[in-house]
Structure 1
Amino acid sequence: MEETKPTTPPEVDRASAAGDQVLADTDALVQKLGEYEAKLAEMRDTVLRERAEIENQRRRLQRDLEQARRFANERLLSDLLPVCDSLERGLAAEGADAAALREGMELTLKALVKVAESNGLKAVDPLGQAFDPELHQAMSMVDGNGQAPGTVVAVLQKGYVLNDRLLRPALVAVAKTPEGA
């Protein structure tokens, strides 16, 4: 007898082929999903590392800023030490005459002014100049004695500018307009 193979209807073959195709598509999708999950894990790791680096950089900058604040005056103070030494030597001098003390004080003042100027401090001494309310503070109005009205005729206290910013205005007396003019 002849063996007969059961025949499968064509619909079953198509369904089987479609099932095989779905399985192949599913396997491809699972593989792609695995690849994307690996890429996502890699990106997460990169983001975490970058965040950590940014945080470390922020901490370093904070520490550097704090150090800069703490030691900002270091140069100025080290420049002032010789001035302090000169003053201490002058005070320690026994039996010095007034002329020698005055000379020592003048030299110390010159050293102090030199340190101040090298650190951006400039004196405002406006004697004979026109009154400038941005740099001067008028303390009184006086007869000009030949000076033009609004001219500084006396400086009661020098003013100072630090790096082009007014630190202290000069206290001045200003010539007033003569009465009857």
Structure 2
Amino acid sequence: MSTDNKTDEQDVNTTYAADNEQTADNQEDVAAQDTQAEASPEASELEKARVQAEENYQRLLRVQADFDNFRRRARAEKEDFAKYASLKLIEQLLPIVDNFDRALASSKETKDFDALAKGLDMTYRGMDQLLTAEGLKPIEAVGQPFNPEFHQAVMQVESDEHEEGIVVEELQKGYILKDKVIRPAMVKVSV
């Protein structure tokens, strides 16, 4: 072979090698671009997920703070309600207390016990009306069959006029507030 052929062959090989290297470089560049293109959507999706997670976390913190504030407010309202629950009843009792004060002051000045008894009776009726309006009722006891839900037997007595298990005497009045027994009547029961 001639030197010219060898040179041509070398040139062709060099050109072929250079083309192969360039093709390989191009393929690597294309692969890198493909990888970046493939990684880029994954990276952007990952970044979107991180942003969404941060937003959710911040929203959670706000909701927790709102809930803590709600609990604090509800507790304070409940304490205020319990503290002032009897306010309405107390306001209604004040005129009765005023009547007691007037009756006591008048009885000390005049020593008129009939007027005192009359004043106390009027005051008692005012108190009774107020308590009845609030739903308080006395428990009927004397002459009724003994009922442990409404009566508390403290004594048993023999009685010729009552059959067994009948309340013969009331020692302390019992009361029902609306539908609940707040104090059973203390009674004597026949045997």
Give the TM-score band, short-chain normalised. Answer: 0.7 to 0.9
Amino acid at match of 1:148: E
**Structure 1 equivalent of residue 134 of structure 2:** 119
Amino acid at match of 2:93: L
Contact 1:153 1:172 in 2 (8 A): yes
Greater helix proportion: 2
Counterpart among 160, 165, 176 of residue 161 in structure 1? 176
1:6-30 CA distances to partner (integer Å, 9 max, x unpaired)? 3126972544432221111112222
**Structure 1 equivalent of residue 81 of structure 2:** 68
SS in 2 for 1:131: coil
**2:26 counterpart of 1:7:** no
For residues 33 and 110 of structure 2, what CA distance do their matches in structure 1 show?
115
For residues 100 and 91 of structure 2, what CA distance do their matches in structure 1 show?
15
For residues 82 and 18 of structure 1, what CA distance do their matches in structure 2 show?
96
- Bigger mean CA offset, 85-94 vs 145-154: 145-154
Amino acid at match of 1:152: V
Amino acid at match of 2:113: A
The alignment of Structure 1 onto Structure 2 pairs a total of residues equal to: 176
How far does residue 75 in structure 1 lie from its aligned partner after superposition?
A: 0.9
How far does residue 45 in structure 1 lie from its aligned partner after superposition?
A: 1.1
1:137-169 CA distances to partner (integer Å, 9 max, x unpaired)? 222222333222111111111112233332222
**Structure 2 equivalent of residue 109 of structure 1:** 124
- Bigger mean CA offset, 71-80 vs 115-124: 115-124
Counterpart among 11, 19, 22 of residue 35 in structure 2? 22
Contact 1:125 1:155 in 2 (8 A): no
**2:104 counterpart of 1:84:** no
Based on CA coordinates, which of the two structures has the bigger radius of gyration? 2
Tell me how large the CA RMSD over aligned residues is.
Answer: 2.5
How far does residue 100 in structure 1 lie from its aligned partner after superposition?
A: 2.1
Amino acid at match of 1:42: E
Amino acid at match of 2:42: L
For residues 43 and 58 of structure 1, what CA distance do their matches in structure 2 show?
22
How far does residue 124 in structure 1 lie from its aligned partner after superposition?
A: 1.4
For residues 76 and 119 of structure 2, what CA distance do their matches in structure 1 show?
43
Percentage of pairs with the same residue:
32
Counterpart among 127, 143, 148 of residue 133 in structure 1? 148
**2:185 counterpart of 1:170:** yes
TM-score w.r.t. the length of structure 1 is 0.86
